[in-house]
A and B are shown apart, each in its own frame.
Chain A
């Protein structure tokens, strides 16, 4: 693999919970501008890996570098300021604040904080970008599930991230919402945001991802384009068991 410029470099990272190795000596690189899918059966350590990159968890061993700078073990607020934004597996919006304030939450404390009237207009532009311009004054708790997901994305983009982590951002959507959501991600991708997405929706992975990293039991079992990686016998075995040919 020749990657032009490596944005994120994960090297021999291990994270244990008691005697369980949730992430076990895992290494992979993400190039600038790439969209990489992080896949694997349930419990294979994908979300743990996302939490290690975003700082919610600290690794027991290994290195995580963002554009050459070590970020492993830093608190999440420092990592957010370095340029990594995330969405959550169970969607999280600020319930008592209206949508514009939810986006300003992402604008006000990042690497280049924006505040005041500049933040208002930037916030409105971001809401428009995710198709929620008409929802500026709606409270976070009053939104539909799909709109909460959009809002979460707008808040993450407000940080002007170099790297965006999407943890099952497409999960739980109905088929028509899914089409909309994939279209939205394609738009964001067109603006040159590097993304790592944990996802189970294969259609989305095939249409959006340049590359996949597939995990099982905390370790990487395959890597490559979605078609290549998903066809690996090891991957088929991980998902379907040993008698998959039967």
Chain B
């Protein structure tokens, strides 16, 4: 029992340190630092939310940007009419319901079919919004004029990231998280053990979608101008996937380990090689899948396993490594 407690304690300390750090950040760094921090926080939430569902279940989703874009568009359409808190709740709520409906009809698909469907879904939503804006609303783009500063965006994102870690931790140690891991291993076994697999999958998928929409809504004021190709840019889905895989999707803290280097790398690539960005994105993807298939967190786990195998007999959970 000492190991999980120590790990939990460490997690709590790191979480608090992170929250305090980001809360104080705006008084220390300038505009560029803030915009980098927003990028970092945005991808940290997206990748962690992605991994909360796709990590244990093995259902690889490319619909991240669909929910992100729903959040951004909720702000673009309703941002000036409703109080900010209500807009955020609504954004999360809409994404939750959309994910629920989509999940009920598609999470019965397995493996590669789900990947393709989720990608198609994001494109479909983008095209529908495009069509609506150009034929019904009169103009493809919208302006977002809200009195929200960069600092406020950082603070909001920090709060959401902290909330996500708490929710993710609670899910992981609950029967829902356990059932999701069973589903990832063998759906048939899960089903015959009494797990309502559709309910579990749809529930966690929708919850992760709500977090993605929150991010979209919070960062929308930063753009001032918004159109479907910005809000529903498929690159975001792929970037999130790469970050989560690099960090390791099977651990709660895993995606974070991928987000830090990747945000810096993408920053570098997009300023120095703007025209080659997509190509380099693809190369990075290949390199990660070949070199660290289970991510940095997976590497850490296998080192721990090897260490325990060499020095058996210390903590309680030893027998497995022998």
Q: Residues on A close to B: CB < 8 A?
A: 54-56, 75-77, 80-81, 85-86, 88, 92-98, 101, 104-106, 108-111, 113, 115, 134, 136-140, 155, 159
User: B191, A77: Cβ atoms under 8 Å?
Assistant: yes
User: A77, B189: Cβ atoms under 8 Å?
Assistant: no
Residues of A within 8 A of B195 (CB): 77, 109
User: B192, A54: Cβ atoms under 8 Å?
Assistant: yes
Question: In the complex, what distance in Å separates the CA atom of A110 from the CA atom of B194?
Answer: 5
Question: In the complex, what distance in Å separates the CA atom of A139 from the CA atom of B181?
Answer: 14
Question: For A54, A94, A138, A155, which residue has the most chain B Cβ atoms within 10 angstroms?
Answer: A94
Q: How many residues of B contact A (CB 8 A)?
A: 23
Count, A-B residue pairs, CB within 8 A: 81
27 contacts between A and B (CB under 8 A): A56-B192, A77-B193, A77-B196, A80-B192, A81-B194, A88-B189, A93-B189, A94-B182, A94-B186, A94-B189, A95-B185, A96-B181, A104-B178, A105-B190, A105-B193, A106-B193, A108-B179, A109-B195, A111-B194, A113-B194, A137-B321, A138-B319, A138-B320, A139-B320, A140-B185, A155-B189, A159-B194
User: B320, A108: Cβ atoms under 8 Å?
Assistant: no
- Given A109-B195, A113-B175, A155-B193, A137-B317 contact (CB < 8 Å): yes
B188, CB-defined interface residue at 8 Å: yes
User: A92, B194: Cβ atoms under 8 Å?
Assistant: no
Residues of A within 8 A of B235 (CB): none
Which chain B residue lies CB-closest to A142?
A: B320
Question: In the complex, what distance in Å separates the CA atom of A92 from the CA atom of B188?
Answer: 9
Q: Residues on B close to A: CB < 8 A?
A: 175, 178-179, 181-182, 184-186, 188-197, 317-321
Residues of A within 8 A of B184 (CB): 96
Chain B min CB distance to A49 (Å): 16
Residues of A within 8 A of B192 (CB): 54-56, 76-77, 80, 85-86
Partner of B185, one of A85, A97, A136: A97
User: B320, A137: Cβ atoms under 8 Å?
Assistant: yes
Judged by DSSP, the binding face of A is: loop
User: B320, A80: Cβ atoms under 8 Å?
Assistant: no
Which chain A residue lies CB-closest to B317?
A: A137
Partner of B194, one of A95, A109, A136: A109
User: A115, B185: Cβ atoms under 8 Å?
Assistant: no
Which chain B residue lies CB-closest to A106?
A: B193
- Given A92-B188, A94-B182, A137-B193 contact (CB < 8 Å): no
Known interface pairs A94-B182, A108-B178; 4 further A-B residue pairs with C-beta atoms within 8 A, sorted by A's residue number: A92-B186, A97-B185, A109-B175, A115-B175
Chain B min CB distance to A89 (Å): 12
User: B185, A94: Cβ atoms under 8 Å?
Assistant: yes
User: A137, B318: Cβ atoms under 8 Å?
Assistant: yes
Question: In the complex, what distance in Å separates the CA atom of A77 from the CA atom of B318?
Answer: 34
Question: In the complex, what distance in Å separates the CA atom of A77 from the CA atom of B190?
Answer: 8
Chain A min CB distance to B4 (Å): 12
Residues of A within 8 A of B186 (CB): 92-95
Partner of B319, one of A80, A104, A136: A136
Residues of B within 8 A of A55 (CB): 192
Which chain A residue lies CB-closest to B1?
A: A117
Residues of B within 8 A of A76 (CB): 191-192
Chain A min CB distance to B313 (Å): 13
